[in-house]
Amino acid sequence: MRKFLCIIIFSVMLVAKDDWGYGVDESKNWGNISELYLGCKFGKQQSPINISPKHVSPGAQSFTLKYLPAKGVNLRLDNHTFKITYPKGSYIEMAGTRYILQEIHFKTPAETIINSQARPLEAQFYHEDSKGRMLIMSVIFDEGRANPLIERLNKSLPKESNKSIFITNVDANELVPKSLESYQFYGSITYPPCTQDVYWIVLKNHMRIMQIEADAMREITGENARETQDIADRLIMEN
């Protein structure tokens, strides 16, 4: 499985990194840019989605989260998105499987929609298990008081694509609410090649951020939220 994923990643790198963009017209065209992106057009479990009560049932799995403070992380601008590469050692454990935290992506505005209400920012925590299976945990930010970690990251935002800036003493826990009640479902990554079979955990409790903090990121990336996708016959579970 890991070898197969490496082949996919290498193949995607052969396509120009900035050959696609956001906005309804552009994102609807992703599947026409390359055969590697056909999942964006024909996939039946695409993300993000609009979560509403009529689609939700009980039965979400319990999980434990262990994020360790990092002495330093690399923050980069990659494909219209600010991404943090997190050092190994932090993970989510669910049903006996450990998913290691790889990266944190920031979306402005939030991609995941709850009850049709848009929010200013979403942090997506990308994890992978030993077999290459992906899990994304989503934390949505409402407008409110400043978030100290976001405030500090904003002081060092790279303005050039693929330029990394090293930031010391970063604790991912500062981006996560205390309660881990969640919605859970299968979806995809939200950018080309729109790979599916990704397990999503969307935390019900939100964090807070000042609008000016989200604006600082968006001024550089532009709006980088894919439009919501059809839920189809997917089961969305909650706890």
Does 4 score more than 90 pLDDT? no
pLDDT on residue 23: 83
Whether 80 is a known active-site residue: answer yes
Short-list 175, 161, 170, 153, CA closest to 87:
170
Top pLDDT among 122 and 27 is at 122
Residues found in the chain = 239
8 Å CB contact between 234 and 185: yes
DSSP output for 88-148: TT-EEEETTEEEEEEEEEEESS-SSEETTB--SEEEEEEEE-TT--EEEEEEEEEESSPPH
Interatomic CA distance for residues 92 and 67, integer angstroms: 8
- Residue 72: both structure tokens together: 């330093």
pLDDT, average across residues 41-50: 97
DSSP strands (E only) in 24-80: 50-51, 56-58, 63-66, 70-78
Interatomic CA distance for residues 175 and 159, integer angstroms: 22
Short-list 41, 12, 103, CA closest to 230:
41
* Structural domains in the chain plus CATH codes: 30-238 (3.10.200.10)
pLDDT on residue 12: 44
**pLDDT per residue over 133-190, tens digit each?**
999 999 999 999 999 999 999 999 999 998 899 999 999 999 999 999 999 999 999 9
8 Å CB contact between 18 and 33: no
What is the pTM (predicted TM-score) of this model?
0.92
**pLDDT per residue over 185-213, tens digit each?**
999 999 999 999 999 999 999 999 999 99
93: confidence class by pLDDT, cuts 50, 70, 90: very high
pLDDT on residue 18: 55
Does 13 score more than 50 pLDDT? no
Short-list 37, 2, 3, CA closest to 17:
37
- Residue 155: both structure tokens together: 């002081």
The catalytic position among 80, 105, 127, 206 is 80
pLDDT on residue 182: 98
pLDDT, average across residues 106-111: 98
